[in-house]
Structure 1
Amino acid sequence: MSSPQRPWPGSWVASRLGVRLSDGQRPVGAGLADLVGLAVRRNPRRAHLLVSEVLGKHVPTDPRLVYGAGLLLGELVRARLRQEEPTPPDGLLVDALRRVPGAAAGLRDLLRAPQVPVEAFVLGYAETATALGHSVADALGDAYYLHSTRRPVKGFATYGGFEEEHSHATSHLLLPADPAALDRDVPVVLVDDELSTGRTVLNTIEALHTVRPRSRYVVAALVDLRGPADRARMEALADRLGTRIDAVALAAGHVDLPEDVLEAGQTLVTELTARSAPQEPESTFDVTRVELEWPAGLPDGGRHGFLPAHRERLEKDLPRMADVLASGLGEGASRVLVLGFEELMYAPLRLAEALADARPDLDVRYSTTTRSPVLAVDDPGYAIRTRLTFPAHDDPADGPGERYAYNVSSASDQIILVVDDAGDTPALADGLLRRLQALAPILLATVPARRRP
């Protein structure tokens, strides 16, 4: 279970909706309740949300734990591809989850030590798994990385698409700058934060296999919740396509749901939403722009492809950019949140990690904004304590709509907001920035979104 110093952040939902987690395999020593809490979705198709303790999406988290957990998942992929028994760091992940001092950095440091490179094509799922997929690719060492996107970009042709059936926004695009990089018969690794039924990855594998048949696929997730029928469906697809499909996860098990959970969940959403009217924030803190001097030509992430050479270049510049951020912090800052922006998760994660290394006197946390609508309940046994709501600010292809930042509060005495230049708009200033200004001083760092030359 979670740290004894705090209740499990799923107990509120478990007691009211009857949702239960049951553990299966624990290949790295952590169980489901170590890795996830629970919240209630504002979505009529699914009542509950598993809220990851290591993803850095909804919960501000030590960035070294987020990156270390991703590298650990990558090591499970490496072992499967090399047909080796995995040797996970003994107890370090559980210690990091329990906030044992030094455990998160120790996990990350151990896993980023040089290993024998493994060639692969790694695909991460937008929006939640974009940085997780990056981390898996980093662990493999010789992987071409691409993440799906919901943002069409002029000049980049669509390679393929697929559907995420339970999602609130189902259209995904693959927009590689170099489509030939996807056409090699190397192992394809598909990375998501959770496997519920596996339908999304099966749709992806079938779509990719139609364009270019491959002999090996590995599905990687933080948690694997598939039942026997779901696993049989994956085996049947592998047989039909004449390929091999494996799956690895940090923990496995299943979620037990009462029959009336959808109705009960929507009733809760209706009741609690009616009680809480959003308050208009008053802008009290300053926004200061900081120039990172992002390396020219370096992609901001994997939307159009990210190579090992890109990662090597980023590693060289991270300490310098962390120093830039550190120099912009206000005097007396001690609790710093680095907040990323929807699909832009990897660059903010690595910047947060480098800042934590450069300034060990700071408590650095990392999370990102999201499209996903979730109910907030200010209770220590609930995973989503607070919610900031603001309009989309990057001119999304599917039109305007609400966006959210969860568990972002005045507990941070400095917020570093990292966006790409496509999202650095007047709508950002009038929306998210105004909400954040009511909480803490803001450093705004912009990285260049990749464009066709």
Structure 2
Amino acid sequence: MSLLKLRDKHDLDFKYNINLRENILNLNIDDYLDLAIRNNKKRRFLFVSKTLGKHLPCNASDMDSLGKYIVEVYEKKYNYLNCGVVISFAETGTALGHSVFNYINGNFEFIHTTRETVEGKKTLDFLEEHSHATNHNLYYDDLKYLKNGEEVILVDDEITTGNTCVNLIKKINELYPKKRYTICSILNWMDEEAFYKFKKLEKELNTEINFVYLFSGSFTFDCDEDKVENIIAQSGNKGKVSFKNNGLKVSYISLDMDKYPQNNKYLKYTGRFGIDKKNQEDLLSIVKEECFKLNIKDGEKTLFLGSEEFMYIPMLFAKQFKEKEIYYHSTTRSPIVHLDVEGYPIKSKFIHHSLYNEGVVNYVYNIDKYNYDKCFFFCELNKDKFDFAEIINIISNTNIKELNIVTFR
């Protein structure tokens, strides 16, 4: 299958071509991705997922199904080993990996990498070389199956060169050699040279490295760098907004959920420090109990908006309201060029400072394009009300009439 996509309107010239090698579940790739331009010269393009719940709004069940599909492919190809750990990559892959962990039938723990710096916690630090934010931490010390398990499953939305996985596999294997590593993704764009790199690594580490994906293939991408740079320069900081008095009603909701015992700044169930299957059962139960505190009337078009790495738990809450018109996605660190033209996925951009890390800029895309009535904004950390001023300003620049800021106690 070959897909040729051209974008040549309003001075944003780029084109890309996808050639699919494998589509194991016979899914329609057009339902899952589009392509946008990044404000990052190291890697100019970004495959924007339509169902991952990051940059674009989606149905929460569609996002959760991605994990289910990956597990389905895994079980078609491999038998489970004795026990192991599922590791997903921050920030875009955090919810995807957690979903894989939820549906996997083996004896696994789950953890995701994080950009958070936590004092007093032992970490594996490694690099994601092409990223806008290259440093990752893996606070692994509370995991028993990383030490004595047989398999590590790495989960990300997309694998292109595999270099990030190589970096992490080497780090893990220095401490706790594994019988098998399995790299799972929605998209796998690795070429023969990249696959050979892993074959070589298998021999070096005396291990097995396998791949699971929904789509694999190759692509070509080309853009006019001068025109892209000109558009970026013209857009500047247009995403910064001031408050518009449009009658926005702002409420604060506090939900009951256990905090991490060694550092109650963070929730216990995100996977930042590792969780097991019993923790996951507890999380699903708590979400069902607490969702009744979120009031949605019939006919209200509602957005559930996560924040940065905090994606999976907001998705679970959104998934509870199956009879309502619910959309779900998250804020992001990823800088994407926005252009409001037909056929281009990222039409608007709003900028705010991170609620988690001082000096870090975040973005929320297309929030003014769907005529939502209500928004639930989820923040893992307990912050003062004035810390949410920029979020309130953003929402006031949309048609949303009611903003509920959701935190946890």
Scaled by the length of structure 1, what TM-score is found? 0.81
* Distance in structure 2 (CA, Å) of the matches to 1:342 and 1:13: 31
Q: Please give the secondary structure, in 1, of the residue aligned with 2:73.
A: helix
Shift of 1:306: 1.4
Of 69, 88, 97 in structure 2, the residue corresponding to residue 133 of structure 1 is 97
1:442 aligns to what? 403
Query: Match of 2:252?
Result: 289
Q: Distance in 1 between matches of 2:355 and 2:268?
A: 21
Matched, 1:149 2:114: yes
Q: Is 2:268 the counterpart of 1:299?
A: yes
Q: Tell me if the contact between 1:9 and 1:37 (Cα under 8 Å) persists in the aligned partners.
A: no
Partner of residue 415, structure 1: 375
Q: 1:191 aligns with which of 155, 165, 178?
A: 155
Q: Which residue of 2 aligns with 1:26?
A: 23
Contact 1:75 1:139 in 2 (8 A): no
The verdict on how the C-alpha distance between 1:10 and 1:55 changes in structure 2, with shifts beyond 3 A counting, is farther
Within 1, Cα distance between the matches of 2:360 and 2:116? Answer: 14
SS in 2 for 1:420: coil
Aligned 1:22-421 pairs, distance under 5 A: 22-82=19-79, 119-141=83-105, 142-158=107-123, 160-176=124-140, 178-258=142-222, 262-263=225-226, 265-271=228-234, 273=235, 278-284=240-246, 285-295=248-258, 299-325=268-294, 327=295, 329=296, 331=297, 333-356=299-322, 360=323, 362-394=324-356, 396=357, 399-409=358-368, 411-421=371-381
Higher helix share: 1
Give the whole-Å Cα distance in 2 for the aligned partners of 1:75 and 1:242: 27
What is the Cα deviation at residue 119 of structure 1? 3.2
State how far apart, in whole Å, the 2-side matches of 1:306 and 1:277 are. 37
CA distance in 2, matches of 1:229, 1:9: 24
- What amino acid does structure 1 have at the position aligned with 2:155? V
Q: CA deviation at 1:11?
A: 5.0
- Structure 2: give runs of 5+ residues left out of the alignment: 261-266
* Aligned Cα root-mean-square deviation (Å): 2.6
Counterpart in 2 of 1:4? none
Aligned-residue offset at 1:278: 5.0
**TM-score, normalization: structure 2?**
0.89
Identify if the C-alpha distance between structure 1 residues 293 and 179 changes in structure 2 by more than 3 Å, giving closer, same or farther.
closer
Shift of 1:155: 3.3
Seen in structure 2, the aligned counterparts of structure 1 residues 180 and 143 have a Cα distance that, compared at 3 Å, is: closer
- More deviation, 58-67/279-288: 279-288
Amino acid at match of 2:33: V
Q: In the aligned structure 1, how far is the partner of 2:5 from the partner of 2:243?
A: 29
Structure with more of its chain in strand, by fraction: 2
Write the deviation string for residues 167-186 of structure 1: whole angstroms up to 9, x where unpaired: 01111001135144311132
Moved over 6 A (4+): none
Aligned-residue offset at 1:67? 0.2
The gaps in structure 1 that reach 5 residues or longer are 2-7, 84-116, 449-453
Higher mean alpha-carbon deviation, 277-286 vs 188-197, is at 277-286
Shift in alpha-carbon separation, 1:170–1:296, aligned structure 2, 3 A: closer
Residue 10 of structure 1 and its aligned partner are, at CA, apart by 6.3
Residues of 1 paired with 2:335 and 2:293: CA distance? 34
Please name the residue that 2:263 is paired with. none
When structure 1 is superposed on structure 2, of 334-343 and 16-25 the one drifting more is 16-25
In structure 2, what residue type is equivalent to 1:79? K
Check the 8 A contact 1:39/1:383 in 2, yes or no: yes
CA distance, structure 2, for counterparts of residue 143 and residue 131 of structure 1: 16
- SS in structure 2 of the partner of residue 430 of structure 1: helix
Deviation at 1:354, TM superposition (A): 1.3
> After superposition, what is the alpha-carbon deviation per residue over 1:113-159, rounded to whole angstroms, capped at 9, x for unaligned?
xxxx973210000000011110111111331000000101233221x
Q: What CA distance in whole angstroms lies between the structure 2 residues aligned with 1:76 and 1:447?
A: 35
Contact 1:391 1:432 (8 Å CA) reproduced:
no
CA drift of 1:393 comes to: 1.9
Partner of 1:57, secondary structure, is: coil
Asked if the contact 2:240–2:350 (Cα under 8 Å) also holds between the matched residues in 1, the reply is no
- Asked if the contact 1:143–1:308 (Cα under 8 Å) also holds between the matched residues in 2, the reply is yes
Secondary structure of the residue that 2:140 maps to in structure 1?
coil
Q: Secondary structure at the match of 1:230?
A: helix
